[in-house]
Structure 1
Amino acid sequence: MDINFPLILLFLVVISGVIWSFDRFVLSKKRSKDEPVPGWIEYSGSFFPVLLLVFVLRSFLFEPFQIPSGSMIPTLKVGDFILVNKFTYGIRLPVIGTKIIPINEPMRGDVMVFFPPEDDRYFIKRVVGLPGDEIRLRDNILYINGLLSNQVSLPESAEDSRFELVSEDLNGVVHSVQKNKIAGPLGKNYVITVPDNHYFMMGDNRDNSSDSRVWGPVPEENIVGKAVLIWMYWESFGELPSFDRTGKIN
């Protein structure tokens, strides 16, 4: 069972805030000037503003994530630390995720963090299909609304006999995609029309990604935010972190 960190953080903010408020407006008025503040109250008062700041930043502005799998190779590698913009697609209530202030809608080509249908784990994939789009895969070639998404083979493809790297154009958003040179079942003969208020998500590692081809389009209410920046690469605690891959996510 995954730890619900947002809920735990909210709980800590509420508890420390209640203790701080009770001391500030009730207990402090009963203490003499020379009487020391109890340790548990002093610690709560010190932690409350820090926890509140982290809660606000993480809930409404930016949240850090680490990439756990290779489904977004070559754009994102296992061990990349990224920043996710939480307000790009609208302001949502913490923990429950209900949108209260709409701002922008996801665009084709965005790299987005979300919860898959019937799952409580964070996933990160690329937005390929918008509401109403017809998505078709034929022999590992992507068609959107009947139009071919142009793919150009990259020179790096020759370095590995198993994979092919291509540059893909999603209506003006150009990014790299890794495909198996022998197409797997995910790339063959698939077609769907994306329902209203849903988004069709695919990994850039096209033949090695559990995405909307497996569990269907993602409902709008499951959106977490837009991935905007790689700020560090750190694959394991036994290695030193690296900043060689820092930069904007395309």
Structure 2
Amino acid sequence: MNGLKEEKRNDKQYRLIREIIETIILTILMFVVINLAIQNYDVDGPSMEPSLHNQERIVVDKVSYHFRSPSRGDVIVFVAPPDPALDYVKRIIALPGDTLTIKGTTVIVDNAVLKETYVADGYQGNPYQPIINQRVPANDYFVMGDDRKNSSDSRDWGFVPRQNIIGRATLVYWPLGLSNSGFLPDVSSVFADVHTKATKANISAAPVPLKGSTFDTDGMVLFAMPGFFLVCSRCRKQS
């Protein structure tokens, strides 16, 4: 009888130790996955007004572009070509293979004049020279800030290489209560008339991807993995 009690006690201790170890492993796994998948950034400067305000904190999705290609309208964080010590945040306007024309405040991508809803009237402007029928090279992206009067962007220093892109800005989370708090809006309709025919340049740039304004399904699957493991482990214990 005493031997049976001792065996039950040892079994309970073993299950407790196993549960503690599994919890620690899952916690570490979740920490690693989250840090690989997302990163926090501070917006520095007014170049993305009114979409992003100076000193706001944003969440950057670093996963999606490993599954799908960057899209026109995405707000991205990238290593700045003029100064690799800095990270910039801008909006993708043209993709590899696109032909771009900018005359004053008019932006034309593949013969489609953009009606840019994210550029407010008070922020329109163009201090740079016109760009006429410029083709975006393979693996490069043309970006601009939403504050067209005060943004140093591809109009000034050229294209963003694909390898410079860190991820896509998806969420404004601090400070709370501002008009732009929450997920960045989907602006894909602005580019609906732009030709989407595949080109050699687009194909060569395709291996690293995305589209949309919230976390992609692929990214959500990655975030959900630790929880899935946790549920499975709990189910195994109950069986």
TM over 0.5: yes
Q: Is the 8 A contact 1:231 1:243 kept in 2?
A: no
The count of residues paired between Structure 1 and Structure 2 equals 159
> Counterpart of 1:108?
72
> Counterpart of 1:222?
164
Which of 57, 69, 72 matches 2:45?
69
- 1:80 CA displacement: 1.3
Residues in 2 aligned to 1:227 and 1:126: alpha-carbon distance in whole angstroms: 10
Q: Which runs of 5+ in 1 are unaligned?
A: 1-48, 91-102, 151-167, 169-174, 234-241
> Counterpart of 1:177?
119
Residues in 1 aligned to 2:184 and 2:137: alpha-carbon distance in whole angstroms: 27
Using the aligned pairs only, state the percent identity.
Answer: 33
Matches within 5 A, 1:11-26: none
Deviations 1:26-53 (A, max 9, x none): xxxxxxxxxxxxxxxxxxxxxxx98886
Residues in 2 aligned to 1:104 and 1:51: alpha-carbon distance in whole angstroms: 27
> Counterpart of 1:88?
64
Quick check: 1:137 aligned with 2:102? yes
Matches within 5 A, 1:1-250: 54=31, 56-59=33-36, 61-90=37-66, 103-118=67-82, 119-150=84-115, 168=116, 175-178=117-120, 183-186=125-128, 188-191=129-132, 192-233=134-175, 242-244=176-178, 245-250=180-185
Q: Is the 8 A contact 2:63 2:167 kept in 1?
A: yes
Q: Which runs of 5+ in 2 are unaligned?
A: 1-25, 186-239
> Counterpart of 1:161?
none
Q: Does the C-alpha gap of structure 1 residues 202 and 182 become closer, same or farther in structure 2, counting only changes over 3 Å?
A: closer
Residues in 2 aligned to 1:231 and 1:138: alpha-carbon distance in whole angstroms: 35
When the two chains are superposed, the root-mean-square deviation of aligned CA atoms in Å is 2.5
Residues in 2 aligned to 1:184 and 1:130: alpha-carbon distance in whole angstroms: 21
Identify the structure with the greater helix proportion.
2
- 1:204 CA displacement: 0.4
Normalising to structure 1: TM-score of the pair? Answer: 0.57
